[in-house]
Amino acid sequence: MTTARQVAADILARSHSRAGFAAELIDDELSRASLSPQDRRFVTQLVFGVIRRRGTLDALLKPFIQIPFHAVQPRVWDVLHLGAYQIAFLTHVPRHAAVNETVELATHVGSPKAKGFVNGVMRRVAELVTDEFTDEPRPDAVPFEQRYRKLARPILPDPATVPDAYFAAAFSFPKWLADRWLARYGPDECTRLGFWFNSPPPLWVRVNKLHNDRETYRLRLAAALIEAEPGEHPQSLRLPEHPAVRDLPGYDAGDFAVQDHSSMLVATALAPQPGMHVLDLCAAPGGKTTHLAELMDNRGRVSACDTDPKRLETVTSLCQRLGIKGAETIVLKENDEPPAGPFDAAVVDVPCSNTGVLGRRPEVRWRLRPNEFEHLIRLQTRLLIQAAERVKPGGAVVYSTCSIEPDENEGVVKAVLRGVRNLKLEAEHHAVPGRPSDGGYRARLRKA
């Protein structure tokens, strides 16, 4: 019988190929696995946890690996990461179970001869991690749920003398990103960001205003014993317990969509009115497309463009589930020009570094390279200009990212404003990660 740990190991193996985001791989693998709801939650916890904490797990493991690191097979590394994560970060998993089950995983990943090696390393990690905690960052303590779990001896860099190396290892970020953030934010804010990005992100839903109001739907959730907290946005509800989305009341009827609170504010910033024709230039997976239609009371048109036909299918599916009318999907090839319009307004939620959503997309911290920003900024600038060109005089364009990097945000907007004289900045907002949700940026521009 397939176990949760085996499924998690298989998903981690797939994640190395950049085949998709972890959330998509988990959904795909769980759709084919016969696991209990509890085991499904365990798979999700393991996969996200290992990817988020890979840098910290390497720091815990490497002192006990006496062979060249490159000699350890990639799938055996996954097994070691899974075991170390359970020992260091999952207090509900008994230590002996974490060790024994991890040893057995070696056979599942095709390396039965590695069982002795895995057993030796796991036992040393189990001896290293204590059950004591502290409130201070130290070389002998790993960040753990807003505090620090003590280790039997120091293995991390000293936060007092090498804060960049400490942040990278203790909070599990690439060194270049640690340097970038420490220079901008300082150690205290970086510590807050580290804890936030290494915690499961909150689940937010956007109540479909075409079907019901927020309070009515909140009471339906309460009747089903599901806690929900209203957010700042009038359609937003935060669900602290992370219930299974498809099991929520009204899922099939389209009474809500999953969308982070920060993202809900993007379409609202455009303030579309019934009868408008709106361009959604980077539309997949459809959260903003459907929200625009809802805000127009299903009495407008949205041209939803994207370069990925498969992801555009999710836009169509979401529109169907939510009962959205007037949205058309348009596949653009890589260098295609968007539809000519003219449009009454436009949203351009550009491809970006995703540094504002590293908790939700944990693999990004390992995939992103510092030399990618130049390409991203060129693309973002081109997309914003294209959107602005297609809006009627007097129309608005909202530019948004899920990045917290200034050069992708206000840097792009300022550059476009310098080059396009008939655009004016009306408003901008920086969403700070964890206050209360994802990080990002949005700016509303008006065409003269």
Which positions are annotated as active-site residues? Answer: 402
Q: Can you tell me the distance from the alpha carbon of 235 to that of 111, in angstroms, rounded to the nearest whole number?
A: 50
Contact indicator for 369, 354 with CB cutoff of 8 Å: no
Contact indicator for 285, 318 with CB cutoff of 8 Å: yes
At 304, is the secondary structure helix, strand, or coil? strand
Residues with Cβ within 8 Å of residue 225, at least 6 apart in sequence: none
Contact indicator for 50, 85 with CB cutoff of 8 Å: yes
Q: Can you tell me the distance from the alpha carbon of 316 to that of 284, in angstroms, rounded to the nearest whole number?
A: 9
How many residues are there in the chain?
448
Q: How many CB atoms lie within 10 A of CB 120?
A: 14
Residues with Cβ within 8 Å of residue 320, at least 6 apart in sequence: none
Q: Which residue(s) pair with 206 in the sheet? A: 236, 257
Contact indicator for 400, 442 with CB cutoff of 8 Å: yes
Q: Can you tell me the distance from the alpha carbon of 33 to that of 90, in angstroms, rounded to the nearest whole number?
A: 23
Q: How many CB atoms lie within 10 A of CB 148?
A: 20
* CA neighbor of 250 nearest in space, from 142, 323, 161, 190: 323
Task: State yes or no: cis peptide before 339, omega within 30 of 0.
Answer: no
